[in-house]
Structure 1
Amino acid sequence: MTLARTALTLAALLALGACDSSTEAPSPAPAPAAEPEGASTAKEPAEAAQGGLALEGEGLRAFTAQGSARALPFGMSQDMVLTAVSTLLGSDTPAVSTNSECGAGPTQFAEYPNGLQLAFQDDKFAGWFLDEAGLTTADGVGVGTSRTDLQSARVVEMIPESTLGAEFSSGDLGGMLSSDAPDARVEALYAGLTCFFR
C-alpha cells in the first residue's frame, strides 16, 4: 500500500515536472546543455590537476588553476593531504592500509591509481613513493626521465652497493634508475619516510 502511494506520488511529481519544463522550455533547455559542459570542464581540471601536483623532497606541492601554489609538507594532517591530493588528481580517496613491519614502526599507506603512494604515521603525512610516469618535480624529473636529463636538472649522487639496485639521492629526493648505464631511466622516486627492506 505504502509502495503504491509512493509510486503514485512520484508519478504525480514527474507529471508536474514535465508540465513545468514544457511551459518554461527556454529556461531548462540551457540547464541540461550546461551539465555536459560542466562534466567536460570537470574533466579538464582533473586532467590539469595531474600537472597541478608536483613532487618535492619535503612533501608535495599543489598548484591551482589560477597559478598559485601551496605546499603539502611532511607533518601535515593525513586527512588534509588525502583530501587535497584526491581533489587535484580527480580521484576517489583511496583506502588506507597499515604495515606494522616497517623499520620506522607501524605506517599507514594510501595508493592512487597513478602509482603515487602516500605514507603516514600518527595521522601525519610522512613520505611518498611513485613508480609510474605522470607526476614530476617542478624541474620536470619523474618516472621515465633519462639519466642524462636527471643529471642536467639536479645534482645526483649514486648510493653505492644499494640492495635496491641503481639507487640515487638528490637532496631530500631519492629514486631508482633502471640500471647503472648512461642511458638508464628513472624507475621510481621517493621522499620522506619509506618502508624499503634493504
Structure 2
Amino acid sequence: MTIKLLPAALTALGLLAACSPEAEKPVANKVTANEAEIIVPSAPPEVNIANASEEAAGVGLNLAPDELTLVLPNGSSRHVGFGMAKAEAVKMISAALGSPIEEAVNQDCGAGALGYAAFRNGLSLYFEEGKFAGWDLDGRENGKFTTGNGIGIGTTRKELEASGSAVDVGETSIGNEFMMGGLSGLLSTPAPDGKVTNLWAGTTCIAR
C-alpha cells in the first residue's frame, strides 16, 4: 500500500524539520590554574567521560615530594601543592589526565579515613579533611610520570642513588621499600638493577 502525503502535511513536516534543535556540540571547559587558563576538552554527549581516554593535548604532569606539577605547552608550570582544596586539585589534574575514573573515601587507611580520586595511568590523589595530602603511583604505565630529574616507575636503584639523594632501602611487610627525601616506593629487588614498581609521597593509603 502506498501512502500519499497531502501538500499541507508535507509543509508541516518541513516546518518541523526546520525547527528541530541541532545536535549538541562538545564544549571545552576552562580551568584557571595559578592565574593561567587550561582548556579541558569535554567528551561528546553520547560518550561516558569516565571511560574516555583522551588527555588534554600538550599538558604534562611531573611528580614531586610535596606536589604534582602541570607542565603547559608553552613550558610554564602550575603547581598542585599539598594543602590545596580537593575540588581545585581534581580540576587541575583533570586538565592533564581527564576526569577521575573513581572517587570515594577509604575508611581503612593508617592515617584514618582518606578521600581519594583515582585517575587513568595508575595515579591516585589522596585527601585529608578536604585538602590534597598525598599521591600514589602504581606500575600500570611504565615511565608515564616522573619527577623533574627523571625518577619514576622503572627507575633502577642505581639510578636512584645516582640522583644525589640518600636512598634508604629495607624489607618491610609490603616488599622492598625505599625512602628518598620526601619520596617513598617499592623496588622489585634490593639489587642495584632492581626497578621502582610503586611510588608515593605525602599522606596515602598504602596497605601494610
Distance in 1, matches of 2:102 and 2:16, equals 37
CA displacement, residues 12-58 of structure 1 (integer Å, 9 cap, x when unaligned): 257xx9xxxxxxxxxxxxxxxxxxxxxxxxx9973532xx2110000
- Is 2:204 the partner of 1:191? no
**Are the equivalent residues in 1 in contact too, given 2:156–2:193 (CA < 8 A)?**
yes
Q: 1:126 is matched with which residue?
A: 133
SS at structure 2 position matched to 1:48? coil
Higher strand share: 2
1:109 Cα deviation (Å)? 1.2
Report the CA distance shift for 1:166/1:10 in structure 2 as closer, same or farther (over 3 A).
farther
Gaps of 5+ in 1: 1-5, 18-42
The Cα shift of 1:8 comes to: 5.0
Distance 1:9 1:146, change over 3 A: farther
The change in CA–CA distance for 1:124 and 1:161 in structure 2 (over 3 A counts) is same
Q: Is the CA contact (8 Å cut-off) linking 2:186 and 2:199 kept in structure 1?
A: yes
Amino acid in structure 1 at the alignment position of 2:58: A
Corresponding pairs, count? 165
For the pair 1:171 / 2:181, whether they are aligned, the reply is yes
1:60 matches 2:68: yes
Aligned to 1:12: 18
Match of 2:4 in 1: none
Matching residue within 91, 101, 119 for 1:94:
101
Change (3 A) 1:101 1:44: closer
1:80 pairs, out of 88, 91, 105, with: 88
Aligned to 1:104: 111
Q: Distance in 2 between matches of 1:166 and 1:73?
A: 28
Distance between the aligned counterparts of 1:56 and 1:170, measured in 2? 12
Instruction: Tell me how far apart the structure 2 counterparts of residues 153 and 96 of structure 1 sit (CA, whole Å).
Output: 34
Per the TM alignment, residue 9 of structure 1 is displaced from its structure 2 partner at its CA by: 4.2
Structure 1 CA distance for aligned equivalents of residues 135 and 118 of structure 2 = 10
Distance 1:197 1:13, change over 3 A: closer
> Alpha carbons of 1:12 and 1:58: their partners in 2 closer, same or farther (altered >3 Å)?
same
Greater CA deviation, 154-163 or 73-82? 154-163
Distance 1:163 1:45, change over 3 A: closer
Per the normalisation by structure 2, the TM-score is 0.71
1:154, distance to aligned residue in structure 2 (A): 3.6
Contact residue 134 and residue 204 of structure 2 kept, 8 A:
yes
Q: Per-residue CA shift, 1:70-104, capped at 9, x if unaligned?
A: 22111101011111111112x12333111111121
**TM-score relative to the length of structure 1:** 0.74
Instruction: Give the SS at the match of 2:162.
Output: helix
Q: Cα gap change, 1:194/1:9 in structure 2, threshold over 3 Å: closer, same or farther? A: same
Q: CA RMSD in A?
A: 2.7
Secondary structure in 2 matching 1:189: strand
Q: Which secondary structure does the structure 2 equivalent of 1:191 belong to?
A: strand
- Pair 1:7–1:153, CA change in 2 (3 A): farther
Distance 1:140 1:7 in 2: 63
Specify whether residues 44 and 196 from structure 1 end up closer, same or farther in structure 2 by C-alpha distance, changes over 3 A only. closer
Name the aligned partner's letter for residue 96 of structure 2: L
